[in-house]
Amino acid sequence: MTSAAFSDLEVAHRMADAARQAILPYFRSAGLQSDNKLDEGFDPVTIADRAAEQAMRSVLAELRPEDSILGEEFGETHGQSGRTWVLDPIDGTRGFISGTPTWGVLIALGDADGPFLGIVDQPYIGERFIGTPEGASLTGPLGHSALVTRATCSLSEATLFTTFPEVGTEAERAAFQRVSAQVRLTRYGMDCYAYALLAAGQCDLVIEAGLNAYDIQAPIAVIQAAGGVVTNWQGEPAHEGGQVLAAATPELHAAALALIQQTA
């Protein structure tokens, strides 16, 4: 069977399956070591991160050799198609090395306008959140279901997530706090799983800063397919990373964005 016989979604599923097989033997294993990618601070990487990205790249080399790749661990590989697969083999490595099942494998396919297909996969739980131009869905222990964001329009009824309590700079933290002060509930530390929960209708807002393209492109595709809105803090496309605001509804997005952009 030729590579053209596989749809883009089938290729993405094969990559997610390959990443699962590469990662799971290491999760919660005794003696797992991590390296620090930063001279100052802590940005861990493990053998599982590298093995998973290599496994996904092998799938692409066989089935989509003409496409470009941007991966967290092995950088950029240029293709000729004008399309790019954006890969984060383990988003949330801090959670991974801590034994929490809130990390995920991120796979996105897009062009210059941004991602149009995305998968957020949680191998340990067995959940796979999928976003395509045809819609969003979840496969997991309870079967297969559609993904639809909640209809929350009011900040006072919203649940807000961010990964790090400090969010980013002092100014970014202050902007986040203006929104946090208005919502019903604020939660921390979920990495990419928070975006998946937003797409699944379990929370309403995710606000973060300092992201890379490989952190956000798959969540963008899934959330938008589920009916949500994702932009940067200027209300513009967020697929290059940086400051990100994801919301369940346009109304909630507008209310949060107004607070983020508020000046003294």
Q: What is the chain's pLDDT, residue by residue, as a tens digit (264 residues)?
A: 566 789 999 999 999 999 999 999 999 998 777 776 656 665 567 899 999 999 999 999 999 999 999 999 999 999 999 999 999 999 999 999 999 999 999 999 999 999 999 999 999 999 999 999 999 999 999 999 999 999 999 999 999 999 999 999 999 999 999 999 999 999 999 999 999 999 999 999 999 999 999 999 999 999 999 999 999 999 999 999 999 999 999 999 999 999 999 975
What's the pLDDT score for residue 129? Answer: 98
Q: What is the pLDDT of residue 131?
A: 98
Q: List own/partner pairs for 108-113 with CB under 8 A and 24 or more apart.
A: 108/214, 108/217, 108/218, 108/220, 108/221, 109/8, 109/12, 109/67, 109/83, 109/84, 109/85, 109/221, 110/83, 110/84, 110/86, 110/217, 110/221, 110/239, 111/82, 111/83, 111/84, 112/82, 113/237
Separation between Cα atoms, residue 72 and residue 51, nearest integer Å:
12
Collapsing DSSP to helix, strand or coil, 253 comes out as: helix
**pLDDT score, position 77:** 96
| DSSP calls for 178-239 | HHHTTSSEEEE--THHHHHHHHTTS--EEEEEEE-HHHHHHHHHHHHHTT-EEE-TTSS--T
First to last CA, the chain: 62
Single pTM value for the model: 0.94
- The confidence score (pLDDT) of residue 44 equals 67
